[in-house]
């Protein structure tokens, strides 16, 4: 056996460790976000595939009809938003599933940090790797739909406000369907897509309103309010769902 | 008078109580439906705009009300389960979901049948119908989630979380669809509105109570079977007369 | 340190065990044995606070604790069947990540000496993907040593470990008990722990 002794803490150290419980919600959030981002960067190819899915879905719609300029400009916001919904949905099953499969999720749930904060950190990483790229890519894809600069600005603003809601709500669904037969895709879609409806309506509606000269402020404000509500509520629901899935 | 509610949260006490309540509410529903249909089809006058067609509201409106009400009740039982860990609450929520989905389906179906003669189409992207369709998806989601989770305890709690997330979302969904509908000038048709005949309103209310009583009777009957299924190992189940005669 | 009263466990419709009582004092260990499917893992998951008992209660330092209670999460180090490692990360990154997750404050030097101790010092920069099952287990041992948790809950800790690894595990558990820690282990294999400090619990017997 190795003679190198591990520094053994004195018995009193146990008490110190027990006293240092989870005051650090922020530390937990940072841990989860940093770890998931690091893991995502180690498998960049998967991120690329998700974005390509978004690009391809958006490019398919004009092929299914006469690519007439006005028609495409009318449909564009909706198509871009539906594709964003699908791209978010596609990446959601893995949000908790890999951690569940390798045992990390148990350690996450047993961490002294609040589980809500750890879940929020994972959602933040999910949004940074799926929602944000989708929003940043949208102006490029909007060219295919002949959207004018003003509409594109509103579209991107809407996506920046709306895609975090998709990640937050999606986390609840992903946690609820953890480890279930067929839980990966279709069940998650059934649970989550109906809840995505308001985001789709306000997001695509913002661009429509801007194009109609009505101003997008109301729609964007509602998206912002929805984001605030989702930020407050969904981490608790997702954390509860994770605990239920582990039980 | 202090009622011990916890006593009834035990499946063993609740099972016989529910057994006595089922026929009560069942017959209540039948009588109310008879009165309601008589009011709706005999007493209530013909609508001067829509003719006889409007009479489907005596089915359509109560089922639509019940569809939303039952979702809220289901979420309420879910909250009780998560808050107090009362087993029976989960069984109640489980028993409500299929009836809620049925009510939603009836509302959509009768709405389509009503829409055809009045709007000239079975389906319109009317705010209420669209919300009702999304509500149906929410019910299907709850039922599918329960089916996918084998373990009833986990299923109860997972469905409770989903129902609570859903119940917060329903008003938002309704509002968003209405907003979208007004922006896009949907073909929303209103009944003659506030000038509705008192007999029409009375018929609708009586029918709503009939649907409500029906839902209670069916849910209680379903809870009884769920209790038996889940507690089949328990001693009190083995001592039931229906279990001994079998 | 940890007490269990009249504990019952069930999985789905199957009753696994009932009326389980025991007490793990500071400096003592309980070794849980029993045939497959008798609920060893279920029991250990309850002790760790991952799942709720069907009946009975668990007390930590005299206080009843519910699943996921903060006191329990601060006191328990749980090592389940799954090693909680990420293939993409190196041994050192995995260890550091797990220790940070548990609120540990060990610095890079402590991490390295812990990896040295489990004989992974020279492999610390390799991704976990290329490590053997036994080497992956050893990362878990290094984690335990760094966590400073009074209660260890170890589910089949000897799986995939070689003789040296098992000896290392026994040393770690002894050190832990010497410091006034407590441990519950589920295992089929004798670990060579001092009999005077170990109680045995047989499930399904």
What's residue B8's pLDDT? 65
- Residue A56 domain flag: yes
Residue A157 reports pLDDT greater than 50? yes
Per-residue model confidence (pLDDT) at position A15: 55
* Banded model confidence at residue B119, pLDDT cuts 50, 70, 90: confident
Contacts A33 to C, Cβ<8 Å: none
Give me chain B's average pLDDT, please. 86
| pLDDT tens-place values along chain C, 205 residues long | 899 999 888 877 778 888 899 999 999 999 998 888 888 899 999 999 999 898 899 999 889 999 999 999 999 999 988 889 999 899 999 999 999 999 888 888 999 999 999 888 888 888 999 999 999 999 999 999 998 899 999 998 888 888 888 999 999 999 999 999 999 999 887 777 888 888 888 887 6
pLDDT of residue B189 exceeding 60, the answer is no
Which residues from chain B sit within 8 angstroms of residue C12, using beta carbons? Answer: 150-152
Q: Please write the tens of the pLDDT for every residue from B216-227.
A: 999 999 999 999
Backbone angles phi and psi of C14, in degrees to 5: -90, 125
% of chain C with per-residue pLDDT over 90: 46
Inside any domain, residue A34: yes
C residues 115-144 closer than 8 Å to A (CB): 116-117, 119
Is the model's pLDDT at B2 over the cut of 90?
no
Interface test with B, best of A78, A181, A190 (most B CBs within 10 A): A190
For residue A215, the distance in angstroms to the closest alpha carbon of chain B comes to 12
| Percent of chain C scoring above 70 in pLDDT | 100
Q: What angle do CA A228, B184, A142 make, to 5 degrees?
A: 65
Residue A4 lies in a domain: no
pTM summary value: 0.90
Q: Is the pLDDT of residue A18 over 80?
A: no
Neighbours of chain A (3+ CB pairs under 8 A): B, C
B191 touches A: beta carbon within 8 Å: no
Domain assignment of residue A120, given as a range = 25-246
The enclosing H or E element of C77 equals strand C76-79
Work out the pLDDT band at A183, boundaries 50, 70, 90.
Answer: low
Write the DSSP string, B13-71: HHHHHHHHHHHHHHHHHHHHHHHHHHIIIIISPPBTTTBGGGGGHHHHHHHHHHHHHHH
Q: List domains and CATH numbers for chain C.
A: 2-202 (3.40.50.300)
Q: What's the confidence (pLDDT) of residue A207?
A: 92
Express each pLDDT in B125-147 by its tens digit. 888 888 899 999 999 999 999 99
Mean pLDDT of all residues in chain A? 87
Residue A14 maps to a domain: no
Q: Above 80 in pLDDT, residue A10?
A: no
Query: Residue A211: pLDDT band by 50, 70, 90 thresholds?
Result: confident
CB-nearest to A205 from B144, B157, B180 is B180
Q: Could you please report the per-residue DSSP string of C146-200?
A: HH--SEEEEESTTTT--HHHHHHHHHHHHHHHHTT-EEEEE-SS-----GGGEEE
A27, exposed or middle or buried, with CB in 10 Å at 0-12, 13-18, 19+?
middle
- Give the minimum alpha-carbon distance from C152 to chain A in angstroms, rounded to a whole number: 12
- What chain B holds in terms of domains, given with CATH numbers, is 18-187+197-232 (1.20.120)
pLDDT at B233: 77
pLDDT score of C183 = 93
Is the Cβ pair B161, A190 closer than 8 Å?
no
Domain count of the fold of chain A: 1
Share of chain A above pLDDT 90, in %: 68
> Any idea what the Cα angle at residue B147 is, between residues B60 and B95, rounded to 5°?
50
| Residue C74 three-state SS | helix
């Amino acid at each position: 056996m190795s003679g190198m002794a591990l520094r053994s803490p004195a018995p009193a150290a146990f008490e110190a460790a027990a006293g240092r419980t989870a005051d650090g919600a922020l530390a937990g959030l940072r841990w989860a976000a940093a770890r998931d981002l690091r893991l995502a960067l180690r498998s960049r190819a998967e991120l690329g595939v998700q974005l390509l899915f978004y690009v391809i879905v958006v490019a398919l719609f004009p092929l299914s009809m006469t690519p007439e300029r006005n028609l495409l400009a009318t449909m564009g916001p909706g198509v871009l938003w539906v594709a964003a919904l699908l791209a978010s949905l596609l990446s959601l099953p893995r949000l908790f599933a890999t951690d569940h499969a390798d045992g990390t999720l148990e350690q996450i749930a047993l961490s002294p940090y609040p589980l809500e904060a750890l879940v929020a950190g994972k959602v933040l990483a999910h949004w940074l790797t799926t929602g944000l790229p989708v929003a940043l890519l949208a102006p490029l894809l909007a060219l295919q739909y002949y959207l004018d600069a003003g509409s594109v600005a509103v579209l991107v603003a809407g996506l920046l406000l709306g895609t975090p809601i998709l990640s937050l709500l999606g986390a609840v669904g992903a946690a609820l369907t953890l480890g279930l037969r067929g839980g990966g895709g279709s069940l998650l879609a059934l649970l989550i897509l109906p809840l995505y409806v308001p985001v789709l309506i306000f997001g695509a509606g913002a661009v429509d309103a801007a194009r109609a000269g009505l101003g997008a402020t109301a729609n964007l404000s509602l998206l912002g309010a929805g984001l605030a509500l989702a930020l407050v509520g969904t981490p608790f629901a997702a954390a509860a769902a994770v605990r239920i899935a582990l039980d | 008078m202090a009622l011990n509610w916890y006593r009834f949260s035990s499946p063993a006490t609740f099972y016989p109580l529910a057994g006595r309540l089922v026929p009560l509410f069942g017959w209540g529903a039948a009588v109310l439906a008879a009165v309601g249909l008589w009011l709706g089809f005999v007493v209530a006058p013909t609508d001067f705009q829509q003719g006889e067609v409007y009479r489907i509201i005596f089915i359509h409106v109560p089922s639509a009300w019940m569809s939303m009400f039952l979702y809220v009740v289901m979420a309420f039982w879910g909250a009780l389960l998560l808050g107090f860990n009362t087993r029976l609450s989960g069984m109640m929520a489980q028993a409500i979901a299929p009836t809620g989905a049925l009510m939603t389906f009836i509302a959509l179906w009768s709405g389509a049948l009503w829409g055809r003669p009045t709007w000239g189409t079975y389906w319109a992207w009317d705010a209420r119908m669209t919300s009702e369709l999304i509500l149906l998806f929410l019910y299907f989601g709850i039922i599918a989630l329960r089916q996918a989770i084998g373990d009833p305890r986990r299923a109860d709690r997972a469905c409770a979380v989903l129902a609570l997330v859903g119940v917060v979302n329903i008003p938002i969904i309704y509002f968003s669809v209405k907003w979208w509908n007004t922006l896009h000038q949907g073909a929303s048709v209103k009944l003659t509105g506030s000038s509705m005949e008192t007999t029409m309103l009375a018929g609708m209310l009586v029918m709503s109570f009939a649907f409500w009583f029906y839902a209670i009777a069916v849910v209680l009957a379903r809870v009884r079977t769920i209790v038996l299924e889940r507690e089949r190992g328990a001693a009190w189940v083995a001592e039931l007369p229906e279990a001994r005669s079998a | 340190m940890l007490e269990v009263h009249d504990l019952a466990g069930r999985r789905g419709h199957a009753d696994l065990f009932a009326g389980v009582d025991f007490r793990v004092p500071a400096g003592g260990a309980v070794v849980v044995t029993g045939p497959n499917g008798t609920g060893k893992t279920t029991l250990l998951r309850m002790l760790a606070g991952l799942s709720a008992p069907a009946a009975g209660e668990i007390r930590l330092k005299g206080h009843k604790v519910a699943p996921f209670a903060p006191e329990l999460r601060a006191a328990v180090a749980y090592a389940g069947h799954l090693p909680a490692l990420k293939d993409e990360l190196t041994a050192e990154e995995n260890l550091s990540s797990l220790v940070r997750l548990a609120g540990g404050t060990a610095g890079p030097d402590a991490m390295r000496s812990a990896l040295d101790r489990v004989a992974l010092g020279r492999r610390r920069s390799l991704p976990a993907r290329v490590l053997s099952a036994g080497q992956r287990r050893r990362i878990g041992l290094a984690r335990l040593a760094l966590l400073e948790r009074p209660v260890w809950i170890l589910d089949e800790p000897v799986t995939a470990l070689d003789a040296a690894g098992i000896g290392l595990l026994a040393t770690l558990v002894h050190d832990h008990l010497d410091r006034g820690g407590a441990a519950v282990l589920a295992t089929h294999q004798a670990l060579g722990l001092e009999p005077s400090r170990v109680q045995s619990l047989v499930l399904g017997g």
